[in-house]
Amino acid sequence: MQPSTSITRLLVIGAGAMGSQIALTAALAGYTTVVQDIALSRLDGAAAQLRERTDKMVKSGKLAEEQARRAHDRLEFSTDLDAVAPAADFVIEAATERLEIKKAIFARLGELAPPHAILATNSSTIGSSAVAGASGRPGQVCNMHFFNPVLVMECVEVVRHAGTSQATVDTTVELARSLGKTPVLINREVPGFVANRLMGAVQKEALALLAGGVASMEDIDATARMALRHPMGPFELMDLVGLDVVDYIAQATYAATGNPADAPDESVAALVRAGKLGRKSGTGWYRYSR
C-alpha cells in the first residue's frame, strides 16, 4: 500500500502491545512513525519486541529482510511528547484505558500538535466524544480502533462522534487503507462499537450455556468453529484477548448503559481475580504452555 498523500509523519502514544504494533504497521507501510511513552523501559522493550517480530516474519518468508530494515529505519522512540508532537500529521493514542489519562493526553496534544493534525484514539471502550473537548479541536478527533494482533487483523473501526468532521473521517479511512487495513465506518457512538458488541453477544450466550450445563466449554468452542466457521471458539477467543480485557470491556459497557443484561460475568471476574488472564498468563479458561 502507498502512504496517504496528506500524511507523512505519524505519532503513536503508548508503547504497549497495541501501540507498538500499530507503529510497526505504519512503518512497514512507509510512514515515519514515532512511538512515545513516558517510560523509557517500555520503549526499550517495545523496540526489542518489534525486532523479534520482524525477525520471525523474515525467517518465515512473510517479509523481506530489506523491508524489515527500512521499516525499523522509519521507527523512532521518545519519552518527550513536547518534542515529537509538533511534527505529527496524525496521532494515534494507545495509552492506558483510563479516561482521566486520555483526557490529559488529548489536552496536551491540542496544544502541541500542528493545527492540521488529526487526533485519534485506539480505545475499544471510550468514545472519542469523551476526550474531544479536551483537545480544543473536537472536529479533528475520532476513534481509530485496531484489533490485536494488529499486524494480522485486517479490520479497523473508524468511529465518529457527533462533532467529528467529514474531512477527519475521510482522512482516517484513507490512512487505514494505506496501512493495508479494511476500515469500517461507525456513524454513531455506542458502547463496544460493532465488533465488541458482536463478540460480547456470542460470549454472553456461551457463558450462559456453560453455566446452565448445556454443553462443555470444549464442545461450545468446537461448535463455534465447525458449525459457524468461527476461527476459534468464544472461550478460546476470550483467552486470546485477555480475560482482564474482556472483564474491563464489560464493566465499561455496563457503566455506560446501566442495563443489568450488560453486567460483567462473575465467572470471568473470578478468573481475573485469581490472576488467570488467558494466554498471556499461561492459564484462563484453558491452560497454555509458556
How many whole angstroms separate alpha carbon 268 and alpha carbon 83? 42
Least confident of 4-8, 236-240, 266-270: 4-8
Residue 121 has pLDDT above 70, yes or no: yes
Burial label for 16, CB within 10 Å (0-12, 13-18, 19+), is middle
CATH code for the structural domain at 9-186: 3.40.50.720
- CB atoms closer than 10 angstroms to residue 181: 22
pLDDT of residue 1: 58
pLDDT band with cut points at 50, 70 and 90 for residue 278: very high
Cα distances from 114 to residues 82, 87, 193, 201, in angstroms, run 12, 7, 29, 41
The CATH superfamily label for domain 195-281 reads: N-(1-d-carboxylethyl)-l-norvaline Dehydrogenase; domain 2 (1.10.1040.10)
Is residue 3 predicted with pLDDT exceeding 70?
no
**pLDDT class of 7 with cuts at 50, 70, 90:** very high
Is 40's pLDDT higher than 80? yes
Question: Which pLDDT does position 267 carry in this prediction?
Answer: 97
Q: What global pTM score does this model have?
A: 0.90
Residues carrying an active site annotation: 124, 145, 157, 196
- Grid cell digits, residue 139: 472536529
Check residue 5 and give its pLDDT: 56
Domain boundaries, the chain: 9-186, 195-281
Instruction: State residue 226's pLDDT score.
Output: 98
> Mean pLDDT over residues 79-101, rounded?
96
